[in-house]
Structure 1
Amino acid sequence: MNMPLRADLADVREVPVAKADDLDRAMVRLEAVSKTFAARRGGGAVTALDHIDLAVAPGSVLGVIGRSGAGKSTLIRLVNGLERPSAGRIWVDGTDIAALGERELRQVRRSIGMIFQHFNLLSSRTAYGNIALPLEIAGVGRAEIKARVEPLLELVGLADKRDRYPAELSGGQKQRVGIARALATRPKVLLSDEATSALDPETTQSILDLLGTINRELGLTILLITHEMSVIRRIAKEVAVIDGGRIVERGDVYDIFTRPGHATTQSFLGGASGRAVPAGLAARLGPDRAAGSEAVVRVVFRGTLAAGAVVSSLSRELHADVKILSGAIDEVAGRPFGTLLIGLPSSDRHLAPALAYFAERGLDTEVLGYVA
């Protein structure tokens, strides 16, 4: 949807995007945060988060990705004050969340919007009624509620569904109601907890596009929790990878996607952009190099470099056949990126010069194994 956001939705302004490590300007900041849950019957205490440091710049979109049980949901519940940290401090827009009493916390939560995986809509309320609910709870008058809710229905593309009940809406429409409800109190921060994981791919794209529009035009800071790398790459500017309650990798989405350093990140990328080894080849691939074997090498292209020309040039330089086994070209954060799997003779006089050839051109390589 390309319609501009109306000025009565929020105080629209250009928000300077700070570097994520600029702690003084961070909209959301966690310092040395740990969370341990008390022991349950028959078991010990569980540490869900262990010494987390994290900063989200104003107007930025930070994606936090991790497997089930990695600590993602605990992290987001700490940011909106539904849980208290066992150690460390949490600031949202300069306010120390963990230091607040329940009354003060209710006030601060109005500046923190939240969207959920399963929508959390009241079945007895229409789309309009669900969006109006947080405003009614806050004591906003009927005329003001109408002035806020109707533009939000337009924003999320549901003006014609205002009187429909959740049972009459599709999954994507329910999530749009959830997003509008989260924006009703004019928050500065939007938290998304697996908001697209219950949706089909096409609907997921439309919801992420809507979140991107909201981020750009309202300058809203978004902290997005997910287990899907495709979600991160479509909307986030930065990504933090969480595993076992710790942040194991953090950085620019393009850099992390094209040069993953941690094994957890690499596993999330899996088959993305030609990284997966074709099944038939994988069955023949082994770790040991033998005389006459062929090395299988993954080559990562960042930018607009012509992969075919590089490979053909290498083949001439080596005076040997270099086979393209598989590959893909993709785009991450609006920048081109591709991966090739190539096969070439594994002898020292071929493999070592080939790896040096790619390194001289700034290309990342990985020897995946050998085939007879």
Structure 2
Amino acid sequence: MTAPFRVPTPPDLADRLGSPDALVRLDGVAKTYPARRGAAPVAALDGIDLSLRRGAVLGVIGRSGAGKSTLIRLVNGLERPSRGRVVVDGAEISSLPEAALRRERRGIGMIFQHFNLLSSRTAAENVAFPLEIAGAERAAIRARVDELLDLVGLTQQRDRYPAELSGGQKQRVGIARALATNPKVLLSDEATSALDPETTGAILDLLGRINRDLGLTILLITHEMSVIRAIAHEVAVLENGRIAESGDVFEVFTRPRAAITRSFLDRETGRALPPVLAAQLRPEGQGETNVLRITFRGPHATDPVLAQLAREGGVEACILSGTVDEIAGRPFGTLVVGVSAAPGVTARAQAFLAARQLGVEVLGSLPASAWPIPPSAPSSSGRPDVA
């Protein structure tokens, strides 16, 4: 008998990502947990409007307590919203009776931070478990398990127990198990948080390949912007149970609007000052050196801008920190620089950079003692004085 849970032929990637069809949608969702032992009720989520396009990867990021885990539990029906609707592929998960909800959950795969494998079952038996529950025939189960273990690179480990596997191998088993019933959407709840950086990269590469090759829609929960950057197409930033900011990953990373988004990015993308300088930062105009943060994106992202700023704009800049990277296949960089706080210098630098479609903001000022940077004051000609 042919296996009933075959992976479908992936649709064209451009068509998938261009489709307005939302596979997962949360409309006005709120979740409040009742009071316990005299404590006040806890509002975990409040007024969440969110959609996940079919075939896309959406990353939801937030600090501990922001409501991330509650959100993902609402999507798979482990929690019911206090208000609003949760819809997955046309089915209103939030209002289904228990029997119907169990059927719908077969189309929602889930991978966990701590793997949640059955210790008494081998890797192959863990992958087979959801198929057994679904009532698939033995031959179909074996064929599907073989297919999935090959997909995640664990064919040689099929008969090993979880205690005999590394953390990365356990998570690969978890991914294979989540794919067993050919789900419509894959939910990832901090799936790389318990792994070392190298293993994290390998798991994210695997998830990205699954999205590309199988056309699988993925919703991932994380507290790390590096995870979002690695595989997500879109991002939503949660803060205190509300969405602070959402949109295309490149747009959010390069033009963050919310303070919490900027704080995440400061740690991950070279936007922040070195701690020794950040501790001495003063409001603009109260030091000898003004500190500018330049965001490189668009057609001038790879231009020698600082050299042009000195040569054509008459402003010398000293690099304090920075990074050059690629986000969603597009060049992006950040430089934090110091320029003279002499009258007119900062404004001229800002105008020069803005004219080249680069982002620029003044972070503050540093005293002369903060760093050995003596940017030249401009001469009357608008050029730096040169001895």
Q: TM-score, normalised by structure 1?
A: 0.94
* 1:345 maps onto 2:340 in alignment: yes
The correspondence of residues 44-59 of structure 1 with structure 2, limited to 5 A, is: 44-59=40-55
- Supply the distance in 1 between the matched residues of 2:279 and 2:30 (Cα, whole angstroms): 43
Name the SS for the 1:198 alignment partner.
Answer: coil
* 1:323 maps onto 2:281 in alignment: no
Alignment check: 8 A CA contact 1:318 1:350 kept:
no
Deviation at 1:319, TM superposition (A): 3.4
Deviation at 1:307, TM superposition (A): 5.8
Deviation at 1:128, TM superposition (A): 0.4
* 1:156 maps onto 2:152 in alignment: yes
Deviation at 1:7, TM superposition (A): 12
Deviation at 1:53, TM superposition (A): 0.5
Check 1:8–1:132 CA distance in 2 against 1; reply closer, same or farther (3 A cut): closer
- Supply the distance in 2 between the matched residues of 1:134 and 1:42 (Cα, whole angstroms): 40
The correspondence of residues 226-237 of structure 1 with structure 2, limited to 5 A, is: 226-237=222-233
Specify the code of the residue in structure 1 equivalent to 2:192.
T
* Equivalence for 2:95: 99
Check 1:307–1:298 CA distance in 2 against 1; reply closer, same or farther (3 A cut): farther
Deviation at 1:306, TM superposition (A): 5.9
Aligned residues: CA RMSD:
1.8
* Equivalence for 2:122: 126
* Equivalence for 1:225: 221
- Supply the distance in 1 between the matched residues of 2:5 and 2:188 (Cα, whole angstroms): 23
Specify the code of the residue in structure 2 equivalent to 1:336.
P
Name the SS for the 1:206 alignment partner.
Answer: helix
Deviation at 1:321, TM superposition (A): 2.8
Alignment check: 8 A CA contact 2:123 2:173 kept:
yes
Render the CA deviation track for 1:33-72: whole Å, top value 9, x for unaligned: 1111111112111111101111101101000001111000
Deviation at 1:364, TM superposition (A): 0.7
- Supply the distance in 2 between the matched residues of 1:364 and 1:319 (Cα, whole angstroms): 19
Name the SS for the 2:295 alignment partner.
Answer: strand
Deviation at 1:17, TM superposition (A): 2.3
In the alignment, which of 10, 14, 37 is matched to residue 13 of structure 1? Answer: 10
Deviation at 1:8, TM superposition (A): 7.3
- Supply the distance in 2 between the matched residues of 1:84 and 1:163 (Cα, whole angstroms): 38
- Supply the distance in 1 between the matched residues of 2:264 and 2:38 (Cα, whole angstroms): 33
The correspondence of residues 267-282 of structure 1 with structure 2, limited to 5 A, is: 267-282=263-278
Alignment size in residue pairs:
363
- Supply the distance in 1 between the matched residues of 2:132 and 2:352 (Cα, whole angstroms): 66
In the alignment, which of 23, 26, 39 is matched to residue 35 of structure 2? Answer: 39
The correspondence of residues 1-372 of structure 1 with structure 2, limited to 5 A, is: 9-14=6-11, 16-18=15-17, 22=20, 25-290=21-286, 293-303=288-298, 305=300, 309-372=304-367
Alignment check: 8 A CA contact 1:18 1:26 kept:
no
Moved more, 29-38 or 7-16: 7-16
Check 1:54–1:92 CA distance in 2 against 1; reply closer, same or farther (3 A cut): same
Query: Percent of counterpart pairs with the same letter?
Result: 63
- Supply the distance in 2 between the matched residues of 1:342 and 1:19 (Cα, whole angstroms): 39
* Equivalence for 1:3: none
Alignment check: 8 A CA contact 2:186 2:216 kept:
yes
Deviation at 1:137, TM superposition (A): 1.0
Specify the code of the residue in structure 1 equivalent to 2:354.
A
Specify the code of the residue in structure 2 equivalent to 1:163.
D
Alignment check: 8 A CA contact 1:189 1:223 kept:
yes
- Supply the distance in 2 between the matched residues of 1:281 and 1:262 (Cα, whole angstroms): 23
Deviation at 1:150, TM superposition (A): 0.5
Unpaired runs of 5+ residues, structure 2, are 368-387
Q: TM-score, normalised by structure 2?
A: 0.90
Specify the code of the residue in structure 2 equivalent to 1:10.
V
Deviation at 1:303, TM superposition (A): 4.1
Alignment check: 8 A CA contact 1:304 1:336 kept:
no
- Supply the distance in 2 between the matched residues of 1:264 and 1:130 (Cα, whole angstroms): 39
Render the CA deviation track for 1:197-229: whole Å, top value 9, x for unaligned: 000111111111111111111111100010010
- Supply the distance in 2 between the matched residues of 1:93 and 1:330 (Cα, whole angstroms): 36
- Supply the distance in 1 between the matched residues of 2:110 and 2:335 (Cα, whole angstroms): 40
